[in-house]
Structure 1
């Protein structure tokens, strides 16, 4: 399996674990105000990262070079910036809104890089 696939699956697993912990915390406390962060973490962190990893595993020629690794780094940094900011924004900390926006733009950049990989002529 290509290294970028392994990295996406490893990060997806960590994000999935964190999403489960966040969901348990909300359920136990009865405070579900952070559900947007929980949903985004599970969808972007767990599901999308696993899909990226699967794509690269099924298309190993597309997993070579610098672009796939750059896509992994950019996308993952975006999630790491966006999700905690969204969590605190959901809890009422309005000062986090700019960080949510910055994280969202970084995630978008990671998705754009993935789109370039998918549409590239390489294999």
Structure 2
């Protein structure tokens, strides 16, 4: 059973969709590093959960999705990839801002926004999982 799939013409299948994901992931990496530096410099770690979410959901998850969508363009060009993209990239900023407001001010009025954004992000992950199970198939 073959475990590596390559485009016969170029040796590697690359999806433009994956490139967009990787570029967004790097933006989240820069944000996460900047936030980490700011917290370390000030010795104020109130935004630790935001830092963790930016790095894990923003940098790591988006980068892995980008790599997967680059190597498996049939998944990267699917409708589920578009659903995944928009749900994740709409949920992440709302989630990070709402969580920051709660942590910095204690204002609980934004909790519903945080909860909705978390469910949207979870839906994005479900769309990603469904996409992979439906669209990652051995090449014939």
TM-score (norm: length of structure 2): 0.81
Name the SS for the 1:55 alignment partner: helix
- The structure having more radius of gyration, on CA atoms, is 2
Task: Give 5+ residue unaligned stretches, structure 2.
Answer: 1-13
Distance 2:134 2:52 in 1: 31
Tell me the distance in 2 between the aligned counterparts of 1:70 and 1:107.
Answer: 11
Q: What are the superposed Cα offsets for residues 58-116 of structure 1, whole Å, 9 maximum, x if unpaired?
A: 21122123221221111111111111111121112322222211110110111011011
- Which runs of 5 or more structure 1 residues have no equivalent in the other structure? none
The match for 2:127 among 94, 108, 113 is 113
* 2:115 paired with 1:97: no
Bigger helix share: 1
Computed over aligned residues only, the root mean square deviation of the Cα atoms, in angstroms, reads 1.4
More divergent stretch after superposition (72-81 vs 60-69): 60-69
Write out the 4+ residue segments of structure 1 that deviate beyond 3 Å after TM superposition: none
